Structure 1
Amino acid sequence: MAVHDFLKLHITSEKFIIEPISGSVNNPDLLVIDRISQEITLQKNNGQIPASAISKNIYGIVGILRLVAGPYLILVTERKSVGAIAGKHIWNVVKTEVVSYTRSLTHLTETQVALNKRYLSLLDTVLDTENFYFSTTYDLTHTLQRLYNTSSDFQSLALHERADQRFVWNSHVLRELAQQPELSKFCIPIMLGNVSINTSTINNHEVSYILISRRCIYRAGTRFNVRGVDQQGHVANFVETEQILQCEDNICSFVQTRGSIPIFWKQKADLKRLPNPVVLDTDHLSAFQKHFDHQIYTYGRQVIVNLVNQEGPEKCLENTFSQVITSAQNKNIRYEPFDFHKECKKMRWDRLTILLDRLEPDRKQFGYFLQHRNKVNKTQSGVFRTNCVDCLDRTNVVQSLLASLTLHEQCVVGVKMNAFSMVACTVTSDAQTQVLIILVRSQ
């Protein structure tokens, strides 16, 4: 079920009236919020919008947040198109606005006014983050393979109901609207991460290379302050990254994950540039198992690629991690440690081929998702779960190399299947090289 794509907010002294503008329905129902009683209702459009109302265009409702002064309505007031996936538009949130139900702060003490101002400032800081994305027609929170493996009943659900809650960053503030099913078309799930859609036309065929990174809402926090796993198995810095290659009605994807080492550890910030990590003296196995039970259920077999140093301050992380993996004895987990800094010191990036060669049998076995003219020809059976300490630089390098290898394969297989026919006429005996040259030139 799609969400209203374009709306108009009408503000009166007593009510917020939100009117859907886009769509084929004439005089669609209005969302009416009583600013005094705080009641939220869906009403027939019987011309009840007064001419004196202050009106403005909006592109979605982020949700409702209750602060010291009372409830605030959070709205998307400006958006930017980043492209389309399967013909469905994806939007980046550019500007938001926070509108108070109450018209004054006279009911608050000076202390309460100061607190409310502080909370609004924090809220503005969060909302000013550049990497919020949404779609009114496409489920950004699920991979292509997960979407394909769903039932018709699931697909008929509202976007906020069917969304993967790990990646819905406004789920808390949507609750008041979401608890009323009739308001589903006003509820947009918003994802934090990155969506990059690069489209080119090659031999009169439109080709898109898409990269989606979905940041998890659980155990969120800043560098040094949040590390490792919690009792529920959620880890810091967990990101699901999906690489999509799309040509007309043919589409394929490859998924990888990253996340903090799933043991209990901390790295308290101090005056050092890189404070030493400390592994806590506790049982790590239960939380580790919860984390990987969910990983295996969601993605299939796991290959853990651990890039931390195996000597020095990071050694304690590698030692404990490997011990817990051994204790778990899970046949669906394979562990591949690789001391990135030691192996690649003095700019010896070529030595990354040592790691890639070790991972190649798994990459071939996992495969990727490929849908050719609405028929699924391939599915992905497992993922690489990569980590370093921050899950940034070292992880980025290795994930990029794995993604590049799979992209090569997707292009070659696509040409052989005539799925990506735009390059078929230019492919020679060295198919892999030719496809890559064409894709690079198209950027």
Structure 2
Amino acid sequence: MLVYVTGPENRITLEDTGFFLDFCPVEGEPGRIEVDVRPPGTPPPIFDAGVRIDARGCLGAVRMKGCTFLAIVVPPVDSIGCEDEDVEQVREVLFYSLEGGHLPLARTRAHPCYHLRKVLTDGSFYYSKTFDLTSRLATRIKAQNQLAEACTPIARADAPEPAPSPCYHNGTQEFVWNTHILQPLRALRDSLDPQVQSAFDSRSFILPVIQGFYGASEVTLGAEKVMLAVISRRGWARAGTRFIKRGIDDAGNVANFAETETILQTRDKTLSFVQVRGSVPLIWTELPHWHGSVEVHLAEPVDAVSLPPLLSHFRWLVKEYSEVHIYNLLSDLPTGSLAAEALLGQAYSAILSLAQAKDPNLADKVIYEAHSIHKDEMESGGLARVPTIIAQDLEPHITEFGATIAKADALTGKYSLITPQKGTFRVNCRDCLDRSNLGEFSISVDMLTQQCQKLGLPSFRGSALEALHRKLFADSGDALAMIYAGSGTISGSFVRTGKTTARQMAENAANSEKREIQALLHDKEKNRATEILTGQYKKCEPPPIFIVKASCRGTKSAPRLRLF
């Protein structure tokens, strides 16, 4: 996609597959933008004194301080994926003002989009133009089958409707992090001629992104080369920073929610295993503390206030993942600096019991289990045995849930499902960062140990695959912690190496200090920018409205296109 900035008024034109979109603000109507669609063969804009930029796609449109901005991803981007599943990491975003008057590179605090750019270019956003990065494998297979059914020819006299756009232009909405700011562009797309829609869809004019982590690499396991990927997708509905966003909201969305998918691809099969993490699903807050005891405050009365949103949350989890095994890693020590965690865990268990009494389906589908890593550390002399203890504790349930296993057709590349994953683990501690990542890592290790054996692969333990798994899970945990708290995970070095050293303990102390600095100096502005991007900010300006010129709507004579 090309972006042209032309004329003394800095008019914006986008070009893709030969089509041009000219944006012009409607005089006297703030936030209303007229769009002129020009077909292939039209001369490009005259940009003697202007600019032409090669871009990757649009993240959305937003109104800031009375101006409409297009957020557009431009190079450099980091390519991370393997083979046909190419993934790119967002590194730079330009904000083009459709009313003119602002430079696109929002690097100074005076720019209305300065804080938005800081969030979008922090290395936590990823997209793919070859597959739906926002959805787990099981969901992608389901969407593939639905798309195949929708495209099946039907004998009738009139001409068939245009084929639906590829599923990755929509994605799993809970994890499409720019859902809110994409809405004006989706409305613009839907008002275009179907052939123009297909043209822009073919090159990802609309670019859904995830926030979280993507990492993938190939290693040799025995005589076979395999690919391992770890994908963490953060939910956006209650996104924000650590001390500002805790617990659950009235709609059942929890803070710091993330779906982590471990993918193992062999010569003829693809395996996917999904876990989720998220804040304790009660309405509660935590006061910032740098030293001394944790202070947690539950909204009273707890059952009346927290039961309805908790019900909504677990009904959604059961709908999405079938069975849910809660693995609560809050400390259960009644005294000491973490005593408040024990009280929070007791309230969690009690309110969940009320929910299960109210909804028999939750009683059948949701299991609650509490496990104190701190107690494991004290009894075993450190973290070294914790993954083994967790794996032994959960092994029967890991076996029961299994993993999604699919086979790809060598010619079409389409997946056929062999076995589905029958349930998921919902892991939490207080922040859903350090202990949660260690817990999910331990579960993933046991899953891969079991599945390698079932797939007839060499032993996972001690292999290059195990070393890669450690690295990817540590990188994922660090990425999620950096987004929410401003530092890597406290347990990251142990996950990465399997050892605890004096140097690592010093790194942990440094990470704690980074979190204090983040909370004191940066969280408020970062949280506000996050809320603007996700539509949570109460003082947001209304989104822009794009009006397609009447001559451009539903044009029957539009030339047919060769799609790339």
TM range (shorter): 0.7 to 0.9
Worse overlay, 143-152 or 34-43:
34-43
User: CA offsets, 1:54-106, max 9 Å, x none?
Assistant: 21111111111111141112111121101137x1311100111112223338x
The answer on whether the counterparts of 1:159 and 1:188 sit within 8 Å (CA) in structure 2 is no
The answer on whether the counterparts of 1:32 and 1:41 sit within 8 Å (CA) in structure 2 is yes
User: CA offsets, 1:319-363, max 9 Å, x none?
Assistant: 101111221222211111011112222315425544433322211
Q: Using structure 1 for the length normalisation, give the TM-score.
A: 0.85
Structure 2: gaps of 5 or more residues: 28-32, 103-107, 152-163, 357-362, 409-414, 470-564
The reply to whether residue 326 of structure 1 matches residue 358 of structure 2 is no
- Aligned residue number for residue 313 of structure 1: 340
Separation (CA, whole Å) in 1 of partners of 2:167 and 2:249: 29
- Aligned residue number for residue 30 of structure 1: 20
The answer on whether the counterparts of 1:301 and 1:382 sit within 8 Å (CA) in structure 2 is yes
The answer on whether the counterparts of 1:212 and 1:241 sit within 8 Å (CA) in structure 2 is yes
Separation (CA, whole Å) in 2 of partners of 1:237 and 1:281: 23
The answer on whether the counterparts of 2:227 and 2:264 sit within 8 Å (CA) in structure 1 is yes
- Aligned residue number for residue 93 of structure 2: 96
Query: Aligned pair in 2 of structure 1 residues 202, 178: CA closer, same or farther (>3 Å)?
Result: same
Q: Using structure 2 for the length normalisation, give the TM-score.
A: 0.67
The reply to whether residue 366 of structure 1 matches residue 401 of structure 2 is yes
The one-letter amino acid paired with 2:37 is L
The answer on whether the counterparts of 1:63 and 1:170 sit within 8 Å (CA) in structure 2 is yes
Within 5 Å, which residues of 2 pair with 1:237-276? 237-270=256-289, 272=291, 275-276=294-295
Structure 2 residue matching 1:254: 3-state secondary structure: strand
The answer on whether the counterparts of 2:234 and 2:257 sit within 8 Å (CA) in structure 1 is yes
- Aligned residue number for residue 342 of structure 1: 375
Higher-helix-fraction structure? 2
Separation (CA, whole Å) in 2 of partners of 1:72 and 1:273: 45
Within 5 Å, which residues of 2 pair with 1:120-139? 120-139=113-132
Per the TM alignment, residue 35 of structure 1 is displaced from its structure 2 partner at its CA by: 4.8
Structure 2 residue matching 1:64: 3-state secondary structure: strand
The answer on whether the counterparts of 1:16 and 1:35 sit within 8 Å (CA) in structure 2 is no
Separation (CA, whole Å) in 2 of partners of 1:342 and 1:203: 38
- Aligned residue number for residue 74 of structure 1: 71
Worse overlay, 46-55 or 150-159:
150-159
After the TM superposition, list the runs of 4 or more consecutive aligned residues in structure 1 that deviate by more than 6 angstroms. none
Separation (CA, whole Å) in 2 of partners of 1:398 and 1:441: 17
Structure 1 residue matching 2:455: 3-state secondary structure: helix
Among 445, 463, 488, which residue is 1:437 paired with? 463
- Aligned residue number for residue 4 of structure 1: none
Structure 1: gaps of 5 or more residues: 1-6, 21-26, 106-114, 416-422, 424-430
Separation (CA, whole Å) in 1 of partners of 2:117 and 2:467: 41
Query: Aligned pair in 2 of structure 1 residues 270, 51: CA closer, same or farther (>3 Å)?
Result: closer
Separation (CA, whole Å) in 1 of partners of 2:150 and 2:172: 12
Aligned residue pairs, count: 406
Higher-strand-fraction structure? 1
Within 5 Å, which residues of 2 pair with 1:15-414? 15-20=11-16, 28-35=18-25, 38-45=33-40, 46-52=42-48, 53-78=50-75, 79-84=77-82, 87-104=84-101, 117=110, 119-150=112-143, 151-152=146-147, 156-159=164-167, 162-179=170-187, 180-181=189-190, 182=192, 183=197, 185=201, 186-200=205-219, 206-270=225-289, 272=291, 275-282=294-301, 283=304, 284-310=306-332, 311=334, 312-329=339-356, 330-345=363-378, 346-347=381-382, 349-350=384-385, 352-373=387-408, 374-414=415-455
The answer on whether the counterparts of 2:284 and 2:299 sit within 8 Å (CA) in structure 1 is yes
Query: Aligned pair in 2 of structure 1 residues 265, 50: CA closer, same or farther (>3 Å)?
Result: same
Per the TM alignment, residue 203 of structure 1 is displaced from its structure 2 partner at its CA by: 7.6
The answer on whether the counterparts of 1:201 and 1:442 sit within 8 Å (CA) in structure 2 is no
Per the TM alignment, residue 225 of structure 1 is displaced from its structure 2 partner at its CA by: 1.5
Structure 1 residue matching 2:72: 3-state secondary structure: strand
- Aligned residue number for residue 419 of structure 1: none
Within 5 Å, which residues of 2 pair with 1:4-23? 7-13=1-7, 15-20=11-16
Worse overlay, 313-322 or 383-392:
313-322
The answer on whether the counterparts of 1:231 and 1:287 sit within 8 Å (CA) in structure 2 is yes
Worse overlay, 293-302 or 403-412:
403-412
Structure 2 residue matching 1:305: 3-state secondary structure: strand
Separation (CA, whole Å) in 2 of partners of 1:204 and 1:307: 39
Structure 2 residue matching 1:341: 3-state secondary structure: helix
Worse overlay, 169-178 or 252-261:
169-178
Give the number of the structure with larger relative contact order, counting CA–CA contacts within 8 Å between residues 6 or more apart. 2
Query: Aligned pair in 2 of structure 1 residues 352, 54: CA closer, same or farther (>3 Å)?
Result: closer
- Aligned residue number for residue 155 of structure 2: none
